Structure 1
Amino acid sequence: MAASLGRFGYVSRCVFYLILTVELFNSYGLSSDLPCAQNCTCDGDSVDCSNLELTATPLDLPARTVSLRLDHNELTSIPDLGQAASKIVLLYLHHNKIRSIDGRRTRELVSVETLDLSNNDITELRGHCFPAGLQIRDLYLSNNKISVLELGALDHLGSTLQVLRLSRNRISQIPVRAFQLPRLTQLELNRNRIRQVEGLTFQGLSSLEVLKLQRNSISKLTDGAFWDLAKMKVLHLDYNSLTEVNSGSLYGLSSLQQLFLSNNSIARINPDGWKFCQKLRELNLSHNNLTRLDEGSLAVLGDLHTLRLGHNSISHITEGAFRGLKAVRVLELDHNDISGTIEDTNGAFSGLDSLNKLTLFGNKIKSVAKKAFSGLETLEHLNLGENAIRSIQPDAFSKMKNLKTLFIQSDSFLCDCQLHWLPDWLVTRGLQAGVNATCAHPESLKGTSIFQAPSSSFVCDDLPKPEITVQPETTVTVLGSDVRLTCMAASSSSSPMTFAWRKDQELLRHADTENYAHVRAHHHQGVMEYTTILHLRRVTFAHEGRYQCIITNHFGSTYSSKARLIVNVLPSFVKTPKDSTIRTGHTARLECAAEGHPAPQIAWQKDGGTDFPAARERRMHVMPDDDVFFIMDVKPEDMGVYSCTAKNTAGTISANATLTVLETPHLAQDLEDRSVVVGDTVALQCKALGSPPPRITWLRNDQPLRPSDRHHFTPGNQLLVIGSASLEDAGRYTCLMSNTLGTERAHSQLVVTQRRSPCASTSGPSTVTIGIIVIAVVTSIVVTSLVWVCIIYQTRKKSEECSVTNTDETIVPPDVPSYLSSQGTLSERQDVCIRVEAGGGPQPNGHVVDTTGFDGAVVCTDCMENSNSYSKDPDYLSHSFCPAGGSEYQQHSHHEPVSHTTPLCNGTPNGIRKDIQGSTFPKNYNTLQHDRKGKTITESLNATSRTGQTPACSPSQEESFHKPVKLSGVTGHGRSDTDCEPELRQTLLSNGHTLRASQNESTPLRRASD
């Protein structure tokens, strides 16, 4: 056993010496194969030749060197590394005097991953500096003199480069798309001379995560400056000259988490500036020129965790300024001027549901209001240090149940009854360690800690702090007037009193005030009453707002309630609607705009009401943000007076505009070819519509048709009656319709044939027919004359009663609001309804009552009683308004049908029609357009025939015009059961006069003898 153990120990010793020999051999052998360069230090495959003042590379570099340090030498160019160049992975050449980058040397560095050329004298980066085939991942070029950055200089490193440092150079401009480095994750450009970042500058850096642009002179970020940086998480823009941050400059930063904007000149937070970087978790806006935080200015940053706003000039925090910041845990507001927010405002911190730490030190806070920290129930750390706090209202911290640390440092506390609660509360909550508070008043407690002062000494024997006695009152005034707001306070302290006024929480630094003091009457001695009056001269809209007075002395500030100033202005038109004339089918444009305070509401009326035919048919287009509304595809029923009304709390005004619709002549019913027997009576109807009403002329075989004993025309020539037709009456009859817009033609072929029965005698009936027509014509003339005499008489009588002269050329219905009325008062309507009863025989509307009968068939599709003529005045176009119901001007498109046993003669108002979408012409209807420079006067006399004996004023009979009524033959023994009992209505103008006909008004019926 012992022998075995001895042999085992011998073998172990041999193995140990053998291993030691191999290690020594390997060590000496490696040293001989890779000797370290002269004066350099070697550590395995790392060679350190730094700080040797070398001007060239040592010639005896080990061939297998992986890491080579040549920094802090006197090299002026990238050295030739010989056989070691292809093996080196880490090459440090910083702190030399290299002036340029030679591509012939860098081409040999095929294995280098980290190249440090910082702190040299390199002046430019060109495309040849880094040829293709290199594997550089980290390139350090900071602290050089680079002023030229050539476009595409680093493109050959695009497949490998991840970190690029170009800080502390002289780069003043970065070419657009200068970096095509899709794998780059970090780019540093600090301390250069960049003044502006153009759009798409960094396009090509799709993997960039960190971009540093600190301490440049950047004053503007153009839209799209950071486009294509969708993966960037950290952006440093601090220590520049930016004045604002808008949404366009941050467009594309959808993944940004940290944005550093401190030490700039930003004076305002744009609410829209953050909508493209809503994933921000940290925002640093400290050391800027911010003066206020407006409501919702950061609302879109729902993921924000840390908000730094220290060292600004913030004096106003609007209620709701932190709305939407539910995730913020750290808020820094130190070294601002938000004393008014803490002393007076309620709910300034609402919305910070997760806030954990709030710093407010150095804000000149003198008092803490009861609800100053409402909404901060989760707060754990509150820093109120470096504030000369004098009073804290009871329960100011009571809702902060999780408060762990509270820092207060003040030797100015007013130890009165208002502060009695604080020492015990701090001790109970265990927060006294961070509070260093001593009394300044009363004199007996001056310099005493609030924790050492007896509780019985916290009494209110005087009024050292001002107390408001008279609050400013809300005032309503008119533009341009002077306003006085008065505020009064009382105090027993002799310390100087200062007065200030705020408007909408902002201090009025150059306010016109009047201040004075006097001893309060009926009070104990020593109490002074102070009055401050704010004068607002010639108030404008800009003066509107909420005003508050602040009265301050050494012991604190007192804030009055807020008084509102309201400035009202009567509306006035800046755009008034204008009269317009337009053709059917076109688009009418009406505009109206008014100004006033508050902004007036615009409303439209048509003919004094709200019934718009265009609105019912969805042809009215209103522009929500414009002062115009359009009527598309204008129709005759759109014609009328449109009233624009502007209304606000100060009053109402209105303006009127007349829309006149022009329509080319066309047929309401097509002309038809006719065939009659010799001796029969035939009627050809040409019912023409248009605006102005067209004039009708009849042609036979293209020659003017002259009236004769057998050829008769109704008023307006819409009906041609041929009695006792003969063979020469056969031919083509043409109805020529013309108005100022053009001329239309319609044709009817009349065929006259011989009677087949030789026994038939036509002389008797033809004579009877002619007699009837003659009687009808004469009777019609007489009755029409009587009607006109009555109308003229009534008109003159009414004119004498009213004795009103109206010089306005626009015909406006009485119930349409006047432009001059600021309240939109409607006038009572005035109209005259003249009734004329007629028995059998000729009627005023041109219809002939058959008392003896015709022996032949007479065809009459309708009768037009309107008498259309054209006066000499070319600039006046009359409009008739037929009142319906006695209260509004309306046009009715539906009427109850009336049955008649004899032909019924109806009129049409001004040729205006409804429910006619377009003109339809047969193959024998030709169109001829011509232009006329003059305008014609058309006066229409509307007459309606109804069944029964009771006269009634009927609305427009347009519907019955479009429905043909067949005129039946009546025997000599027959008689009509219904007489035409027309009722004439004429609309009064606003001055009490009626529309008068010219001297050349046509007669109801013409004969050859006329």
Structure 2
Amino acid sequence: VKQGETAVFETKIDGYPTPKITWLLNGKPLTAKEGAQVEFNAATGDAKLSVAKVDLQQHSGIVTCRLENVHGSQEETARLDILAAPLITTQLSKTEETVSGKDVTLRVVVRGSPRPEAQWFYNDTPVAPENTTYDEEKSEYQLLIKEATVGAHEGTYRVVMKNDLGESESTPCTLTVLEPVKLTKIGPATDAVDLKVGEAFEISFDIEGKEAPKVQLTKDGKEVKLTSVEGTRHVYTIADVKPQDQGVYKLTAKNKTSAEESTITLNITAPLNITQPLTDINVLLGQTGVLSLTCDAFPVPKVTWFFNDTELKNSAKHKIEIKNNVFSLTVNKCDHPDVGVYRAVVDNGIDKTEQTAKLNVGVKPKVEAAKPANEQSSVIGQDTQISWKFSGIEKPEVTWLFNGQPLPTNERFQ
């Protein structure tokens, strides 16, 4: 019987008492709800079952006529086959995604009798049947795509179902083949880079993947902006590095299928540059003397101080300090034992140098006598001598004055 027509089953029965008649479909009693109409002519014994507007999914199967009275029961069966053109009840997905190298299966559920034949198409080209299957329990037609690749399998798929009563075509399904992230480092050549202040630094990667990967560059965990992105090439450039550019740079790329990362460590150094060297100092007895030098370098150098080749540490006598790029040694309450050569050794692990300077401790000039050593009267025209006694370290320079004016050194004044 064709889909939508009326199926009629007739039989002649006999028995006494008159048997009870039950019509069943696949073991379940038929009712008006299924479109069943039952007739029985007791005079002739004719029994009739009519099923209107038969449906392939609802009515196909075994029809049973069961007779029952007090003396027993009897059954007769017949098969109800409904002929129907293919009807797609579950369409192909509009889109499917798979990962390159993985298998993917396209599925469609179809009703029809006789069972329809399926012809699959890829970009309107027929697909060979060796990878097609049919699940009879689910009425599901399947196409297995093995180890999918972009070049061979990405595109549009559809299936045409045919039997003697007609054909039906599925909606198209677009298959996208995703590819994992691929990182190709162009530069630098190593994962650790050592540069001097002022030199150029560049990170360059080719990044591929489908879908297009999301790319992020961080320095010590904080995001930094790439300098340029052209196609797959991703570049980060520093024209002249500074100490604050030192750190660990991590490039991360991820898409739906995978994530990749690469780490580059940038180490920065600057040679020792002493812009203000140590110089000799003169300090008065009991006062404070400060020796200092100014040095630019990276890493920041360590300065070790020596006095007459003995290393100095912080103490009540000596104070060692660093302020920015100024390194100083303070000598408190300078005394004669503090006189000598002081040496600063400057070392930042990359470069090393030394500076030396002398510290001199002096004493203010002092008049040893409150009055001139000799006070005398002089006779006009005769020589006379005036003298005072002074002390001091270093030896004081003496200037003679007469009425507040320096005396010249000549034949008269000596």
TM-score (norm 1): 0.23
**Which of 691, 694, 705 lines up with 2:301 in the alignment?**
694
- In the other structure, the counterpart of 1:501 is 121
Q: Which residue identity does 2:145 align to in structure 1?
A: L
State the Cα distance separating 1:682 from its structure 2 match. 0.6
**Which of 210, 222, 246 lines up with 1:639 in the alignment?**
246
SS at match of 1:475: strand
| Gaps in structure 2 of 5+ consecutive residues | 1-82, 369-414
Any idea what the Cα deviations from partners look like across 1:391-435, whole Å, max 9, x if unmatched? xxxxxxxxxxxxxxxxxxxxxxxxxxxxxxxxxxxxxxxxxxxxx
CA–CA distance in 2 between the matches of 1:741 and 1:622? Answer: 33
State the Cα distance separating 1:499 from its structure 2 match. 1.5
Q: Which residue identity does 1:624 align to in structure 2?
A: E
CA–CA distance in 2 between the matches of 1:706 and 1:758? Answer: 39
- In the other structure, the counterpart of 1:265 is none
State the Cα distance separating 1:536 from its structure 2 match. 0.6
> Hey, which of these two has a bigger chunk of strand by percent?
2
Is 2:90 the partner of 1:470? yes
Aligned residues of 1:678 and 1:752 also touching (Cα < 8 A) = yes
- In the other structure, the counterpart of 1:741 is 350
SS at match of 1:679: coil
Closer, same or farther: CA 643–697 of 1 in aligned 2, 3 Å: same
- In the other structure, the counterpart of 1:579 is 192
- In the other structure, the counterpart of 2:169 is 559
Is 2:260 the partner of 1:666? no
Any idea what the Cα deviations from partners look like across 1:854-885, whole Å, max 9, x if unmatched? xxxxxxxxxxxxxxxxxxxxxxxxxxxxxxxx
Closer, same or farther: CA 484–517 of 1 in aligned 2, 3 Å: closer
State the Cα distance separating 1:659 from its structure 2 match. 2.1
SS at match of 1:714: strand
| Gaps in structure 1 of 5+ consecutive residues | 1-461, 522-528, 760-1010
State the Cα distance separating 1:675 from its structure 2 match. 4.5
Q: Which residue identity does 1:640 align to in structure 2?
A: G
State the Cα distance separating 1:743 from its structure 2 match. 3.2
- In the other structure, the counterpart of 1:590 is 203
Aligned residues of 1:692 and 1:739 also touching (Cα < 8 A) = yes
Q: Which residue identity does 1:602 align to in structure 2?
A: V
CA–CA distance in 1 between the matches of 2:329 and 2:295? Answer: 13
* Bigger CA radius of gyration: 2
Is 2:219 the partner of 1:606? yes
Matches within 5 A, 1:383-398: none
CA–CA distance in 2 between the matches of 1:712 and 1:580? Answer: 40
- In the other structure, the counterpart of 1:630 is 237
SS at match of 1:499: strand
Any idea what the Cα deviations from partners look like across 1:431-464, whole Å, max 9, x if unmatched? xxxxxxxxxxxxxxxxxxxxxxxxxxxxxxx977
Matches within 5 A, 1:156-555: 468-473=88-93, 474-488=95-109, 499-503=119-123, 506-510=124-128, 512-514=130-132, 532-542=141-151, 543-551=153-161
Aligned residues of 1:483 and 1:535 also touching (Cα < 8 A) = yes
SS at match of 1:580: strand
Is 2:292 the partner of 1:682? no
CA–CA distance in 2 between the matches of 1:706 and 1:533? Answer: 86
State the Cα distance separating 1:586 from its structure 2 match. 1.4
Q: Which residue identity does 1:538 align to in structure 2?
A: E
TM-score (norm 2): 0.51
CA–CA distance in 2 between the matches of 1:649 and 1:493? Answer: 43
Any idea what the Cα deviations from partners look like across 1:134-157, whole Å, max 9, x if unmatched? xxxxxxxxxxxxxxxxxxxxxxxx
Aligned residues of 1:665 and 1:742 also touching (Cα < 8 A) = yes
CA–CA distance in 1 between the matches of 2:289 and 2:135? Answer: 107
Aligned residues of 2:119 and 2:127 also touching (Cα < 8 A) = no
SS at match of 2:244: helix
Aligned residues of 1:501 and 1:511 also touching (Cα < 8 A) = no
State the Cα distance separating 1:549 from its structure 2 match. 1.9
Q: Which residue identity does 1:472 align to in structure 2?
A: L
Matches within 5 A, 1:23-102: none
Matches within 5 A, 1:952-963: none
CA RMSD of aligned residues (A): 4.8
Any idea what the Cα deviations from partners look like across 1:905-941, whole Å, max 9, x if unmatched? xxxxxxxxxxxxxxxxxxxxxxxxxxxxxxxxxxxxx
CA–CA distance in 1 between the matches of 2:170 and 2:358? Answer: 95
- In the other structure, the counterpart of 1:159 is none
CA–CA distance in 2 between the matches of 1:498 and 1:623? Answer: 47
Closer, same or farther: CA 586–671 of 1 in aligned 2, 3 Å: same
CA–CA distance in 1 between the matches of 2:321 and 2:282? Answer: 25
- In the other structure, the counterpart of 1:138 is none
State the Cα distance separating 1:756 from its structure 2 match. 3.7
SS at match of 2:286: coil
State the Cα distance separating 1:603 from its structure 2 match. 0.6
CA–CA distance in 2 between the matches of 1:600 and 1:517? Answer: 38
Q: Which residue identity does 2:103 align to in structure 1?
A: D
Any idea what the Cα deviations from partners look like across 1:216-255, whole Å, max 9, x if unmatched? xxxxxxxxxxxxxxxxxxxxxxxxxxxxxxxxxxxxxxxx
Matches within 5 A, 1:870-909: none
Aligned residues of 1:593 and 1:602 also touching (Cα < 8 A) = no
Q: Which residue identity does 2:241 align to in structure 1?
A: V
Aligned residues of 1:512 and 1:535 also touching (Cα < 8 A) = no
Higher RCO by CA contacts (8 Å cutoff, separation 6 or greater): 2
SS at match of 2:364: coil
- In the other structure, the counterpart of 1:381 is none
Q: How many residues align?
A: 276
Aligned residues of 1:677 and 1:752 also touching (Cα < 8 A) = yes
Any idea what the Cα deviations from partners look like across 1:536-570, whole Å, max 9, x if unmatched? 11223443333222346899975321223344565
SS at match of 2:175: strand
State the Cα distance separating 1:607 from its structure 2 match. 1.6
Closer, same or farther: CA 498–602 of 1 in aligned 2, 3 Å: closer
Closer, same or farther: CA 557–675 of 1 in aligned 2, 3 Å: farther
CA–CA distance in 2 between the matches of 1:592 and 1:671? Answer: 48
State the Cα distance separating 1:678 from its structure 2 match. 3.5
